[in-house]
Amino acid sequence: MFFAEGRTPWLWLGAAVALAGEALRLWASGYGGTWARVDAAEAIADLSAAGPYRWVRNPKHIGNVAVAVGLSLWAGGLLPWLPLATALVFIALYSLIQGARDRDLGRRFSWEYRAYRGTVPIWLPRFTSRPAGTQSRWRFGVALAGETAVLIQIVAVAAAAFVRSRVTNWFF
């Protein structure tokens, strides 16, 4: 991001996409807790099927793709193909991760997860949501605990982009 050549329309579009992705992650974290990897699934007490989990199985993956694409758009004209390449790489990576997560959650929650998996898609949300399930209350503290690191990273990238724009204005 420091070496990117952000242009105003791309900068604002990228910021909007990245912030929308982080908003989705924050919303999901408030329902799904702070766990994010298959090896941390032992800490899950209940299968979360509330909030964004009513429409897609892992909204954090979609949020991550949006944040990454947003940051690559933010970079602007340096590499115009970068947002598409970023989206494709993240989708491929998360498709592999989702397979492992499906197996793990299927073992842990058995019939409950199979029913959930059969009615909730991975990437493209359904227009009708499924019933919320057991965890139906969004928790701010849990959401913030799950997203603090990502929020810090976004602020750091924004700061690098700001510094870069100031350095460019001072010397060029």
Taking only the tens place, the pLDDT of each residue in 66-88 is 998 888 887 765 567 778 888 89
Residue 148: which residues within 8 A CB-CB, separation 6 or more?
A: none
Which pLDDT band holds residue 107 (cuts at 50, 70, 90)?
confident
- Domain locations along the chain: 8-171
The rounded distance, in Å, linking the Cα atoms of 98 and 137 is: 24
Q: Does domain 8-171 have CATH number 1.20.120?
A: yes
The rounded distance, in Å, linking the Cα atoms of 95 and 83 is: 18
The rounded distance, in Å, linking the Cα atoms of 39 and 42 is: 7
Residue 100: which residues within 8 A CB-CB, separation 6 or more?
A: 38
Question: What's the predicted TM-score (pTM) here?
Answer: 0.77
What tens digit of pLDDT does each residue of 124-168 get?
887 776 665 555 677 788 788 878 888 888 788 777 777 776 665
